[in-house]
Amino acid sequence: MMKLMRSKYFTGLLLLVGAFCISPVKTYSQDEIPKELYASSGIPDSLKADANSVVRYSSEDITVSSPGTVVRKFHSLVTILNEKGDDEAIVELPYNKKFYNISDIDIRIYNPDGDLIKKYHKSDMYDGAAMESDILVSDDRLLYLKPTVATYPTTIEVAYEEDFSSFLQWGWDIQDDQQSVQNELFKVSADPQIGFRYISKNFALNPDKKTENGLDTYTWAVKNKKAIKLEDGAMAWRVLPKVYCAFNKFKYYGYSGDFSTWQNFGKWQQDLNADGCSLSPQRVAEIQQMTANLKTDKEKAKFLYEYMQHNMRYVAIALGIGGFKPFSADFVDQKKYGDCKAFSNYMCALLKAVNIKAYYAIVNAGPNEEPDDPSFPYDISDHIIVCVPFKNDTTWLECTSSIQPFGLLGSFTENRNALLITEDGGKLVNTPKSIASENQLNSEVHLVIDSTGGATAQVKILGTGVYRTDYVVYLTRLKADEQKQSLLSTLNIRQPSVFDFTLGADNDGVKEVDLNLQYDKFCDIIAGDKQFYRPKVFDLCAFTVPILDKRTSDYFFDQPMQKSCVTTIDLPTGFVVETLPANQSLKFTYGDYEINYVYDAVKNQVISTAKFTITNQDIPAAKYTELQQYLDAVAKAQNKKLVIHHKA
């Protein structure tokens, strides 16, 4: 997809892996491109393997004449091979009337023979506010076009020019997942005084460097690059090579800054925040009175954090330098709304009112997402949290969430670098890493089997950490039928005849969910006086991973986890156990699984106790086969049969 979203940064990511074939790539004007680059017959067979689309030709030329002053010329030809590549036809171009604009837009569609079948211009595109679902107001705008792809292959040609008077950094997109490259060129020309820097991630490809018209010019070229298909469970930033381009001197939305070090970038952010991080003297006195009876600073911080959670609602307003500068603390205090920047700044102001030091912290969010590189200042972050450096006990606060427990970040921002904005500028520090016991799903099941093989089941689930978030936040956003389907699929529940559930209490970081299930047929096999059952309603581990000859990238879970289930099965009158499933204990470098069965002949009950643990979310590629064998063994253990028979 031709997409350059710039709500905060003008950044693209290079998606590339494997060996490069480096040779000169010629730059063409739109009317000079050879016919064979339009026709699908000109695609080598080697570039079709694992590819949904092929970059036939791409030229990106960026000239940075002074901090914040940039001209970018872009021209590309992409052939879409099948419906999975349809997003490559979408053209999505953000702009801002004050700081950057787009001109000379030309979009053309070609059939398999390379014949022109449709042309589009700027006047054909949607032109409106560039707002995501949680943004109420924005002064960024968006040009958008989604041409219809009727047949395959289809080739999309896109050309345009952009002029910026606000600019921070850039990154190079070479190829998407399952996309090959036939010819691609990336060129950056910059005034030497600006301090251009670049870094390659996960590959080595040096640019050709020259000096032209007083500008340092760097040119990268890629030719005949085969497609790469990411392995399941891999993180793209760990596998796919990319180039980051940064400039020591920049100007963003009228604010000049120095990005030569993380410390200097932090000073720039500190200056943006400086006029809005205090509350009025009257409000400070009120906050001090609210916390007067609390004995410790940590008790006060917890009280104020929960006060903010209960009294504020999330609203994003992206006006002006909205991607960096937060609303003032007074504004949030009075209006009772804000975004991650506003809430984090407000939390710092609340703590400041009771003489507790806290730091605004910039972080890249999402499970297992890429951290900042200490050796190369380049901002990939998109979220703000707060760090409270209590003596011998640093506490982190996720201020955007209205349900996150005090002092727990969760998978969204854990285990990565965050940039603290201190009095002395920026300082990179590590956020904490969660442990399995912080993400628990504990359950109790009472299963009553009848003599015909039907059953009823009552299930009580208690979730903490990510599982609590699933049930408190994500599940409640769904419609009733979608909620049921979500529970059935995520827990791999055997399909019941009747399924009712209740979202129960949410106390002290533990969320309860209660399920009531009925089965017309719970028994797997009836043979004479014998009945065979898989003695469980749902799986603690509901997935396996495929066998691979060789795994090249690490496998990632969203978080470490700890699950347990105690199942009590009431056997039907007149039936007794013939065969219990064997107890099992399975070990894995980063986890374990245990299940034990007991038959209580007096109560005529079978009680099973199962535990499943993953202790680390990052499974090294060298341990993938062990993970695959472990999960297969767990799946087999979960499917062992309980055999009962009718007494003579």
Q: How confident is the model at residue 322 (pLDDT cuts 50, 70, 90)?
A: low
User: Residue 239: its pLDDT value, please?
Assistant: 86
On whether the CB atoms of residues 345 and 277 are closer than 8 A, the answer is yes
**pLDDT score at 7:** 35
Instruction: Compute the distance between CA of residue 303 and CA of residue 281 in angstroms, rounded to an integer.
Output: 20
Model confidence band, residue 96 (pLDDT cutoffs 50, 70, 90): confident
The mean pLDDT of 341-355, rounded to a whole number, is 96
pLDDT at position 526 is: 93
pLDDT score of 320:
58
Q: In the predicted model, what is the mean pLDDT of the chain? A: 91
pLDDT for the residue numbered 9: 29
The pLDDT of residue 135 is 53
The topology (CATH level 3) of 2-255 is Immunoglobulin-like (2.60.40)
Q: Which residue has the tokens 């202790």?
A: 615
Question: Taking residues 64-71, what's their average pLDDT?
Answer: 94
What is the token pair recorded at 528?
A: 């004479």
Q: The tokens of 34 are what?
A: 């050879």
Q: What is the pLDDT of residues 491-525, one digit of tens each?
A: 999 889 999 999 999 998 999 999 999 999 999 99
| Residue pair 308/400 in contact by the 8 Å Cβ criterion | no
| pLDDT per position as a tens digit, 148-180 | 999 999 999 999 999 999 989 999 988 889 999
DSSP-H helix ranges across 199-258: 236-239
Which residue is listed with tokens 């997109």? 173
pLDDT of 19 over the 50 cut: no
Amino acid at 367: P
What band does 476 get if pLDDT is binned at 50, 70 and 90? confident
3-state helix, strand, coil in the chain (%, to 5): 20, 40, 40
Task: Give per-residue burial for 414-425: e unless 16+ CB within 10 Å, then b.
Answer: bbbbbbbbbeeb
Residue 419 in tokens: 């940039």
Please give the residue that has the higher pLDDT: either 502 or 8: 502
- DSSP-assigned letters across all residues of 281-305: HHHHHHHHHHTTT--SHHHHHHHHH
Is the pLDDT at 18 greater than 60, yes or no?
Answer: no
- What pLDDT score does 238 carry? 92
Would you state the pLDDT for residue 315?
Answer: 82
Q: What is the pLDDT of residues 568-584, one digit of tens each?
A: 999 999 999 999 999 99
Residue 293 has pLDDT above 50, yes or no: yes
Confidence bin at 8 (pLDDT 50/70/90): very low
Q: In percent, how much of the chain has pLDDT > 90?
A: 80
Amino acid at 634: V
β-strand 440-449 against 530-533: which pairing, if any? unpaired
Whether 2 shows a pLDDT value over 70: the answer reads no
Q: Tell me the mean pLDDT in the region 197-219.
A: 92
Percent of the chain whose predicted confidence (pLDDT) is above 70: 93
Q: What is the mean pLDDT of residues 528-556?
A: 94
Is the domain spanning 262-430 CATH 3.40.50.970? The answer is no
**Number of Cβ atoms within 10 Å of the Cβ of 96:** 18
Fold exhibited by the domain 437-646: Jelly Rolls (2.60.120)
Q: Summarize the confidence of residues 412-435 as an average pLDDT.
A: 95
Contact 456, 420 (CB under 8 A): no
**Cα torsion 203, 206, 207, 208: sign:** negative
Residue 14 has pLDDT above 60, yes or no: no
Q: For residue 204, what is the DSSP state?
A: -
Higher pLDDT, 473 or 231: 231
The pLDDT, as a whole number, for residue 648 is 72
Q: Which pLDDT band holds residue 451 (cuts at 50, 70, 90)?
A: very high
Contacts of 168 (CB under 8 A, 6+ apart): 9, 10, 11, 247, 250, 252, 259, 379
- pLDDT at res. 21: 40
C-alpha R_g of the chain: 29
Residue of 504, 536, 503 lying closest to 519 (CA atoms): 536
- The whole-number pLDDT of residue 15 equals 27
pLDDT tens, 272-285? 999 999 999 999 99
Q: How many CA atoms within 13 Å lie on the side-chain side of 88?
A: 29
Name the nearest CA neighbour of 128 among 87, 175, 92.
92
Q: Is the per-residue pLDDT at 182 higher than 90?
A: yes
Identify the pLDDT of residue 26: 57
**Is the preceding peptide bond at 620 cis, omega within 30 degrees of 0?**
no
pLDDT of residue 25: 54
- Ranges of each domain in the chain: 2-255, 262-430, 437-646
pLDDT at residue 270 tops 70: yes
